[in-house]
Amino acid sequence: MRVHHIGIACSDIDEAIEELSKFHTILSRSETVFDPEQNASLCMVSTELGLDFEFISGEQVARLLKKGVSYYHLCYEVENLEAVIEKYIADGAMLISPAKPAVLFGGKRVAFLYVSYGLIELVEQ
């Protein structure tokens, strides 16, 4: 299990990436895609920090943005998605969104869980 990316809620993906570029060197950027399963527009950005950011825009994050919150989630890449979901639930996590394919990750499945430190996303390797 390793950190895959940090999810950032935004109203305008291009504008948010421009803001990020003021503080960090952007090495690459994916196309912005719409994922109907998540009902959101999404874009991945890699930085010189070795850290990737996923920018999320749409109805999925509208309530967070109204509250002035832009941090959305921390994502971990895992080998066995079902096993990690089961372990986290057994340890007290709440499953928010069950495993489903993600357009941004080439159909790899993702799941969202709420844990004591906030929302996490798990993406299968």
CATH number of the domain encompassing residue 82? 3.10.180.10
pTM: 0.93
Q: Is the pLDDT of residue 43 over 90?
A: yes
What domain range is 93 assigned to?
Answer: 2-124
DSSP string, the chain: -EEEEEEEE-S-HHHHHHHHHTTS-EEEEPPPEEETTTTEEEEEEEETTS-EEEEEESGGGHHHHHTT--EEEEEEEES-HHHHHHHHHHTT-EEEEEEEE-GGGTT-EEEEEEETTEEEEEEE-
What's the whole-number mean pLDDT along residues 105-117? 96
The pLDDT value recorded for residue 60 is 87
The pLDDT value recorded for residue 100 is 96
What's the whole-number mean pLDDT along residues 89-101? 97
- Split into its structural domains, the chain has a count of 1
What's the whole-number mean pLDDT along residues 1-6? 95
Q: What is the pLDDT of residues 64-75, one digit of tens each?
A: 999 999 999 999
- Whole-number average pLDDT of the chain: 96
The pLDDT value recorded for residue 52 is 97
Q: What is the pLDDT of residues 19-28, one digit of tens each?
A: 999 999 999 9
